[in-house]
Amino acid sequence: MATENKNLSEYDKATIPNASKFRFGIVVSEWNEKITEGLYKGAYNALIENGVAPSNIIRWNVPGSFELVYGCKKMQEQMVNAVIAIGSVIQGETKHFDFVCEGVTQGIKDLNVMRETPVVFCVLTDNTMQQAIDRSGGKHGNKGTEAGIAAIKMAELRKNS
C-alpha cells in the first residue's frame, strides 16, 4: 500500500504498549531542517502521548542523513530502549541522492542486525520538497508519528524477547 492510500499519523491507541518506563534516543539530520523538525515533532508527540516522560527522550543532531548511521551507533550505546533516525533526502541534479539513501538505509539496517537496540528508520527519500512536506505533517500525515509508534512497539518486543 502506498503512502497516498494511508495516513501516516493514524494509529489505534488501544494497541500501543505502555511506554512509561522506556527511554528513547532520537537522532535528527540538519539537512532539510524544515522537514526533519516536522518529523521530530511527530515522533516526540507520539512518544509523549503514549506515556513517555520528556526526561526519557534524548535528542542529538547530525549534519546530514549520511551521518545518521554514526549518530545512531553512538546513541545505541546510551541507556535507551530504542533509537529513531530522522532524516529527509530530496533528489537533486545528480546521483548523490542514490548514494546517500543507500548508505543510510544499509547502515541503519546493519545497526539493527549487529546490535541489540532497535533503530527505527524515519528517513524520507523524496523526489520533491512537496512530497517531503506531505509526509512530515502534510496531507499524508507525519512519518515521525509512525516512527514514534514503531519505536514503542520495538522497545516492547525487545523487552519481551
Ligand X SMILES: Nc1c(NC[C@H](O)[C@H](O)[C@H](O)CO)[nH]c(=O)[nH]c1=O
Where b means 16+ CB within 10 Å and e means fewer, 70-104 reads ebbbebbeeebbbbbbbbbbbbeeeeebeebbebb
Site for ligand X in 21-40 (CB under 6 A): 29, 31-32
Name which of ligand LTPLIIQW, ligand X, none residue 67 binds, using a CB cut-off of 5 to 8 Å depending on partner kind: ligand X
93 binds, options ligand X, ligand LTPLIIQW, none, Cβ within 5 to 8 A by partner type: ligand LTPLIIQW
Residue number of the CB closest to ligand X reads 64
Place of cell 535507551: 80
Quick one: 49 exposed, middle or buried, by C-beta within 10 A (0-12, 13-18, 19+)?
A: middle
Q: Quote the least distance from Cβ 120 to ligand LTPLIIQW, whole Å.
A: 21
Is 96 catalytic? The answer is yes
Options 34, 96, 109, 159, the catalytic residue: 96
Question: For ligand LTPLIIQW, which is the closer residue by CB, 15 or 94?
Answer: 94
Contact partners, residue 72, CB within 8 Å, separation at least 6: 25, 27, 83, 85, 108, 111, 119
- Nearest-angstrom CA–CA distance, 148 and 41: 10
Q: Which is nearer to ligand LTPLIIQW, 78 or 127 (CB)?
A: 127
**Judged by CB under 6 A, which stretch of 53-61, 73-81, 86-94, 149-157 contacts ligand X?**
86-94
Residues making up the binding site: 31, 65-67, 88-90, 93-94, 121, 135
Residues making up the binding site for (2S)-2-hydroxy-3-oxobutyl phosphate: 93-94, 135
